[in-house]
Amino acid sequence: MTKVAVVFADGCEEVEGLSVVDVLRRLNVETDMVGLTSKNVMGDHKIKLSCDKVVDDSLLDYDLVAFPGGMTGSANLRDNKKLRDLMVKRHEQGKWDAAMCAAPRALSRYGVLADADYTCYPSIEEQTEKDAPTGHFKEDITVTDKEHKILTSRGPATAWAFAYAIAEALGVETKDLKHAMLYDYLADNIQDSL
């Protein structure tokens, strides 16, 4: 069975992590909320999150590990040595890793964005380009680099696109859920409202 971990750190963008958890659980993908240092996490907008577990070596067992952004949250992810070591091992094992908003800077600091196509929140690419000068920044809503097994997205408004891209990278059919959640309606009509 496919398993995903979403790693939450204090100061995370709540909507970016919870959208992934919500969509994947609706698709019957086993998805764990994993706290960086505690099961109790305080999001950037003072939303208290209660995680299923705390980061440990079992992170190596997941098919995909996703990071929500947030400036403080992504800095906490970026600077955690235990998490870095586990993510480097995952990358060496050829496993999928995903990050959105400011969180790709954690992946770049770990060295896993080298040579990969990716996106991130505007201005964060200045940091990612320093740590991963061989990476290739794109301005797309989501970027899926199948060769390097890296999936990234831009920011809070792109959280659902990120969640669906994660499911699709793992081979999960999303068409029916996109329709049920009106995501297809939103995607088809967004330009009309601008």
pLDDT in tens, 39-71: 999 999 999 999 999 999 999 999 999 999 999
Please name every residue paired with 30 in a beta bridge, in sequence order, or none if there are none.
Answer: 3
pLDDT at 193 over 70: no
20, 47 in Cβ contact below 8 A? Answer: no
| Domains identified in the chain, total number | 1
pLDDT average, residue stretch 18-45:
98
Question: What is the structure's pLDDT at 194?
Answer: 61
Task: Evaluate if pTM is beyond 0.75.
Answer: yes
For residue 187, what pLDDT is reported?
84
Mean pLDDT along residues 16-25: 98
pLDDT of residue 188: 84
Burial class from Cβ neighbours inside 10 Å (0-12, 13-18, 19+) for residue 20 reads: buried
CA distance 82 to 169: 26
Crossing angle of helices 14-26 and 159-169, rounded to 10°:
40
**pLDDT surpassing 70 at residue 170:** yes
Token representation of residue 17:
């992590």
The secondary structure of residue 7, as a DSSP letter, is E
Percent of the chain with pLDDT over 90: 95
Mean of the per-residue pLDDT values of the chain = 96
Mean pLDDT for 81-109 is: 98
Across residues 168-190, what is the average pLDDT? 94
- Residue 163 in this model has a pLDDT that exceeds 80: yes
Give the model confidence (pLDDT) of 101-123 as tens digits: 999 999 999 999 999 999 999 99
pLDDT of amino acid 191: 64
Q: Which domain holds residue 78?
A: 3-193
Residue 190, Cβ neighbours under 10 Å: how many?
Answer: 10
- E strand map for 75-168: 96-100, 117-118, 136-137, 142-145, 150-153
Question: Could you tell me the pLDDT band of residue 190, with boundaries at 50, 70 and 90?
Answer: confident
Distance CA 132, CA 152 (A): 14
pLDDT > 80? residue 192? no
Whether 98 has a pLDDT exceeding 70, the answer reads yes
CATH of the domain at 75: 3.40.50.880
28: left (phi over 0), alpha (psi -120 to 50) or beta: left
